């Protein structure tokens, strides 16, 4: 029911699956349209399937169609590659796939799978099955170009089988085949599991191979069969930009688009340029010059006037009594400056 576990971009896919059971075969040819969300973790997948079932043992081949709708969620638990694909994730999905098959053959002899006590001929007319499936998966990407996804699911739903028994009876002495339609309603339970490997051939193309095991019949007691298949997926949309690194996101965009977005950004938006002539700029105001202070020299004090010398004494034979040498006197104080005249 899951076309791809690469939920990073929307895509379309084609697949073919085949199994050999009880001498017959069961084939599915599928087409999917997958739409991813802007988070890169959710995908809505819609499928249209052609069914070809040949039970074998002489039972007519059944051909029919099925439609599927699946919700897929992938939660990354490890870092992503630069392509956006997570290295390890936990997956969950849920969906339904109503299936209708019709018999294109006429009545056939009884067989081991369709018998009647009176030897009646049996022909399957139609079969309707409406399964609702719930599954889990562990998508891993050990390398950038390859994904490995183990998964398991349980599908439960009613199965309605319309059979037409043709029994020969005698009517007015003539043998006439009288149809006797019967309806069987059972609860179908299928247990399925498998492994899916995808090789990512660039950004747009995925080539896949799958191996699946499933049981047949009502309940889990039916026989198991192995399915093998292949798929081709084309990613028509770009990877969700929110999960890419800035370098990887810008490397695949047009430079013109990047420039336009940058101009619309409020942080880098430039002011509008006026078409009016600009007024002349005013003359700059000269800066004030600092005041210059001239230092006036301090006048030096006047030199002191030396004391007057003593007059020389004439030499004489007569002894002149000596007089004591007077102590030098201090200079007379300078006269006070005159007071200004009073007006």
318: in domain: no
DSSP classification of residue 59: B
Angle among Cα 221, 225, 227 to the nearest 5 degrees reads: 145
Q: Please report whether residue 146 resides in a domain.
A: yes
Six-digit token string for 256: 């013109």
**Residue 166 confidence (pLDDT) above 70:** no
Q: Convert the pLDDT of each residue in 260-315 to its tens digit.
A: 766 766 655 555 565 666 667 677 777 777 766 666 666 666 666 666 666 655 55
Whether 22 is covered by a domain: the verdict is yes
Report the range out of 98-107, 228-237, 276-285 with the highest average pLDDT: 228-237
Q: Give the separation between CA 85 and CA 55, rounded to whole angstroms.
A: 41
- From the number of C-beta atoms within 10 Å of its C-beta (0-12, 13-18, 19+), residue 53 rates as buried
What pLDDT, in 10s, does the model give residues 167-183?
666 555 565 555 666 77
Q: Does residue 51 contact residue 99 with C-beta atoms inside 8 Å?
A: yes
Per-residue confidence (pLDDT) for residue 214, from 0 to 100? 87
Query: What confidence tier does 102 reach under pLDDT thresholds 50, 70, 90?
Result: confident
The answer to whether 210 and 232 are in contact (CB under 8 A) is no
pLDDT at position 218 is 57
> Quick check: is 293 in a domain?
no
Within a domain: residue 124?
Answer: yes
**Per-residue pLDDT, 232:** 97
Q: Report how many domains make up the chain.
A: 1
Q: How many CA atoms lie within 13 A of 303 on its CB side?
A: 3
pLDDT (0 to 100) of residue 148: 97
For 243, the 3-state DSSP assignment is helix
Domain hosting 43: range is: 11-258
For residue 23, pLDDT over 50 is answered with yes
Q: What is the pLDDT of residues 26-48, one digit of tens each?
A: 899 999 999 999 888 999 999 99
- CA–CA separation, 112 vs 116, rounded Å? 10
Cα 249 to Cα 40, 88, 241, 262, 322: the distances in Å are 14, 21, 6, 14, 126
Give the list of residues 6+ apart from residue 267 with CB closer than 8 angstroms, or none. none
8-state DSSP, 295: P
CA 180, CA 190: separation in Å to the nearest integer?
A: 30
Q: Give the SS3 label for residue 292.
A: coil
Rounded Cα gap, residues 223 and 21, in angstroms: 9
pTM value > 0.85: no
> Residue 78's domain is classified under what CATH number?
2.40.128
Per-residue pLDDT, 152:
96
Residue range 76-100: mean pLDDT, rounded: 93
**Closest of 190, 131, 180, 181 to residue 161, by C-alpha:** 181
Domain assignment present for 173? yes
């Amino acid at each position: 029911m899951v076309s791809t576990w690469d939920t990073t971009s929307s895509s379309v896919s084609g697949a073919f699956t085949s199994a050999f059971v009880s001498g017959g075969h069961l084939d599915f040819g599928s087409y999917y349209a997958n739409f991813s969300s802007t988070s890169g973790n959710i995908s809505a997948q819609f499928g249209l399937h052609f069914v070809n079932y040949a039970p074998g043992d002489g039972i007519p081949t059944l051909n029919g169609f099925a439609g599927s709708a699946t919700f897929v969620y992938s939660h990354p638990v490890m870092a992503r590659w630069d392509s956006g694909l997570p290295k390890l994730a936990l997956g969950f999905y849920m969906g339904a796939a109503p299936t209708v098959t019709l018999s294109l053959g006429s009545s056939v002899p009884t067989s081991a799978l369709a018998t009647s006590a009176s030897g009646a001929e049996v022909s399957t007319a139609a079969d309707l099955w409406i399964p609702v499936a719930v599954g889990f998966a562990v998508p891993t990407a050990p390398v950038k170009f390859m994904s490995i996804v183990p998964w398991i699911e349980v599908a439960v739903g009613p199965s309605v089988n319309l059979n037409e028994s043709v029994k020969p009876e005698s009517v007015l002495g003539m043998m006439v085949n009288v149809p006797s339609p019967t309806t069987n309603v059972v609860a179908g339970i299928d247990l399925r599991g498998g492994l899916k490997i995808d090789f990512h051939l660039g950004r747009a193309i995925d080539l896949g191979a799958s191996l699946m095991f499933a049981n047949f019949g009502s309940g889990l007691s039916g026989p198991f069969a192995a399915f093998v298949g292949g798929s081709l997926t084309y990613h028509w949309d770009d990877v969700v930009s929110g999960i890419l690194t800035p370098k990887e996101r810008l490397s695949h965009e047009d430079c013109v688009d990047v420039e336009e977005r940058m101009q619309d950004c409020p942080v880098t938006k430039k002011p509008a340029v006026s078409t009016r002539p600009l007024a002349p700029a005013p003359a700059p105001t000269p800066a004030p010059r600092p005041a210059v202070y001239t230092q006036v020299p301090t006048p030096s004090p006047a030199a002191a006037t030396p004391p007057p010398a003593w007059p020389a004494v004439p030499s004489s034979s007569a002894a002149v009594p000596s007089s004591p040498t007077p102590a030098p006197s201090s200079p007379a104080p300078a006269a006070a400056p005159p007071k200004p005249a009073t007006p």
